[in-house]
Amino acid sequence: MADLTARVPLLRVARSRLRLRPGRAGVLVAGLVLLVAVAGSLLAPLVWPLDQSAVALDQTRLAPSWSHLAGTDDLGRDVAHRAVYGLRVSLLVGAVAALVATVLGGVVGGIAGTLGGRVDRILMRIVDTIAAMPHLLLGIFIVAMLRPSLGAVIASVGLTHWLSTARIVRSELLSLRTRPFIDAAISGGAGRLRVLTRHLLPHVLPRLALATTLMIPHAVWHETALSFLGLGLPPHLASLGNMINDGQGSLLTGAWWASLAPGAVIVVVTLAIAVIAARWRDRLDPRVRAELHL
């Protein structure tokens, strides 16, 4: 999934022969950032291996320098190096959790949107009620009961983030159902299954892909928030949330850089995904022009 987000804008940029109009420059930069982020987190173990448990107690809390671009933390570990691995874990968790949420939301929204009527009303009321649960609290509850682990974090994100996808799929299906081409297909003799697979799905899938992409930053935040609270991934594992949590201690002793790099990585990747998703949405729905042109 993360791979797709990097590929799509690049194709588009290539097609436009790199003419830098205001909006395009942002998309180009965002595409490059995402490409570097995805390639970096995929290739890191080959190019720049990290021993997760290694410490260097003679190099603790060194300020950023040429040998340690983002400084070192309490245990003398290179912050920039661990941030690359943190991003790797966060993107992995984010992408898998976003997929889980998309499947859940797609199924619920799909049932509500294709059946409509009473089923739709009941399902959407349920969605509204669950949306009133603070999802961080629900996420904490899930992780606490399953004991903190990679699987628990993914379950926690997936189970709390499917609501928006369900709403998007459902409203898209409901509006598609009233369009003439569906009537035409039915009067042409197409059965339920054919209408669903040949006419409805092709319209819903791009939107679902966009929703999944937009979900990744939310999933990453949720994971980092859980890790920051000490409820996410095991503490020795370099994840962005764990690193910010570790950095909290060194911050009070003056080493502000330990939390800076992992946070900055989250911000930059989130912004890049937002810029690309905004342009993608413009393409899907030219009538509603998103105004995100950074």
Interacting residues with other proteins (CB under 8 A) = 122, 125-126, 128-138, 140-147, 217, 221, 224-225, 228-231, 244, 247-248, 251-252, 254, 256, 259-260, 263, 266-267, 270-271, 274, 291-292, 294
Closer to other proteins at the Cβ: 185 or 225?
A: 225
Smallest distance from other proteins to CB 175, Å: 19
Rg (CA), the chain: 22
Smallest distance from other proteins to CB 13, Å: 21
Smallest distance from other proteins to CB 257, Å: 10
Instruction: For residue 61, report the phi and psi dihedrals to the nearest 5 degrees.
Output: 50, 45
Closer to other proteins at the Cβ: 208 or 255?
A: 255
Closer to other proteins at the Cβ: 17 or 147?
A: 147
Smallest distance from other proteins to CB 34, Å: 13
CB contact burial 152-163 (16+ within 10 A = b; e otherwise): bbbbbbbbbbbb
C-beta separation of 275 from 27 below 8 A: yes
Closer to other proteins at the Cβ: 120 or 200?
A: 120
Angle, alpha carbons 152-155-157 (nearest 5°): 110
H or E segment at 293? none
C-beta separation of 79 from 257 below 8 A: yes
* C-alpha closest to that of 93 among 209, 217, 7, 262: 217
* Coil vs helix vs strand at 78: strand
Closer to other proteins at the Cβ: 85 or 257?
A: 257
Closer to other proteins at the Cβ: 110 or 241?
A: 241
Smallest distance from other proteins to CB 190, Å: 34
Query: What string of DSSP letters covers 203-250?
Result: HHHHHHHHHHHHHHHHHHHHHHHHHHTT-SS-TTS--HHHHHHHHHHH
User: CA-CA distance, 61 to 214, in Å (whole number)?
Assistant: 36
Closer to other proteins at the Cβ: 98 or 204?
A: 98
Smallest distance from other proteins to CB 272, Å: 9
Smallest distance from other proteins to CB 206, Å: 23
> What count of other Cβ atoms lies within 10 Å of the Cβ of residue 269?
26
Smallest distance from other proteins to CB 80, Å: 17
| Burial status of residue 138 (CB atoms within 10 A of its CB: 0-12, 13-18, 19 or more) | middle
Closer to other proteins at the Cβ: 80 or 251?
A: 251
Tell me, rounded to whole angstroms, the distance of Cα 270 from its chain centroid.
Answer: 8
